Amino acid sequence: MAQLLIIHHTPSPHMQAMFEAVVSGATDPEIEGVTVVRRAALSVTASDVLAANGFLLGTPANLGYMSGALKHAFDTFYYPCLDSTRGRPFGCYLHGNEGTEGAERGIERVTTGLGWEQAAAPVIVSGAPSKDDIQRCWELGATTAAHVMGT
C-alpha cells in the first residue's frame, strides 16, 4: 500500500483547521490504496520519509520563514533521503499573518534540492482561514493523495 506522510507544525487554531482539512481530503473514501501517516515536524525521522511515497508539508510562516520545527525536520532527513526520494510528489500549506514569501522560498529550495515534484499549488493563508481556504486545503490533501495513489 502506498503511503502519504504529512509532516506538520500545528501550533495554532488556524494551523489546526488547515491540518484537519488536509487530512480530511487525503483520507477521502475515493482515495484507495493510500495510508496517511501524520508526524509532527519535531518527531519525523528519515525512516518515516523513506517509507513514504509522497508528502504534505504544513507550517506557519514565523518571522518570514518556515517554522523552526519544519526546518529541523528537513535538517534531520535531508541527506539520508537525498537520493532515495527523488521524484516523489508533495504539497504544502502555510499560514502567516504577514509575509510568507521567505517560507515559500525556503520550502521550494529544500524540495527542489530533494528532487520532489510539486503535486499541487501551495495553499497560503493570511489571517483566519475562510471557508474557501479550508476547501483549498481539503483539495490539496485529496490531490496529493491522488498523486500518491497513482504511484
> Which segments of 27-61 does DSSP mark as H helices, in order?
46-51
Please compute the mean of the pLDDT values over residues 99-104 and round it to a whole number.
92
Percentage with pLDDT > 70 across the chain: 99
From 41, 49, 48, select the one nearest 72 (Cα to Cα). 41
Helix or strand or coil: residue 76?
A: helix
Please compute the mean of the pLDDT values over residues 85-102 and round it to a whole number.
94
Buried b (16+ CB within 10 A) or exposed e, 50-70: eebbbbbbbbbbbeebbbebb
Checking if the pLDDT of 123 tops 80, the result is yes
pTM: 0.96
